[in-house]
Amino acid sequence: MVVSLQSKVCSKCKEVKLLDSFHLDKYKTDGYTIQCKICRNSNDKRNRIFKITTKRDINNFDSVRSAYGCVYMFRDSANNALKVGFTIDLANRTKQHKTSNPFLVLVSVILKVDMQTEKRLHDRLEPYRLVDTQEWYKDCLDVLDIFDSYDHEKALVNIRRLRELTD
C-alpha cells in the first residue's frame, strides 16, 4: 500500500484515496477527516435515520409502552415524599435520581411490568399525590401498602436482591 502526500487511507474502508475524497477538518493534524466522504456520508445517513426512528417511537410511545421494565419507588427523606416511576434500565435511572437528589433511597421495585401497570398503580395512588406533581406522593404507610400489595403476577423483589442486581 503506497500512500503519498496527495493520498490517505480511510479508517473505515481501509482504501487509499486522494485527499479530495476526504472532508476538511481543521482539528486533524493533516487537515482532513479520518474517513473518506463516502464512508462518512453513509454513517451520517444511518445516524439520521436512527434519530428519526427513535424520535418517532418516543413521540408515538409505541416502543416504550410495550417494553417491559420495572416500577420503582424512591423515598425522599428531606421532603417526606415518595416517587413512583417506570424504567427499563434501573441501574442508570437510580444513578440519575441520586445525582439530582442525594436524599433519595430506593425503597421497593416491581420487576417485569409494562407502563400500563405503572399507570394503573398511579391511578390507585391518586388520593396521596402531592400537589402539582405527577409521580410524587405523601410518604405514608397507605402508599407503601398499596405499592407492596399491588396485585400482579410478578413477585416484589426485596431491597437486598435489588442491590445485587444494580451493583
pLDDT for 62 beyond 70: no
Mean pLDDT, to the nearest integer, of 136-151?
82
Percent of the chain with pLDDT over 70: 72
pLDDT at 139 over 70: yes
Residue spans of alpha helices (H) in the chain:
37-60, 62-66, 90-100, 115-125, 141-148, 159-166
Domains of the chain: residue spans and CATH: 7-60 (3.30.60), 66-166 (no CATH)
Q: Does the pTM of the predicted model rise above 0.85?
A: no
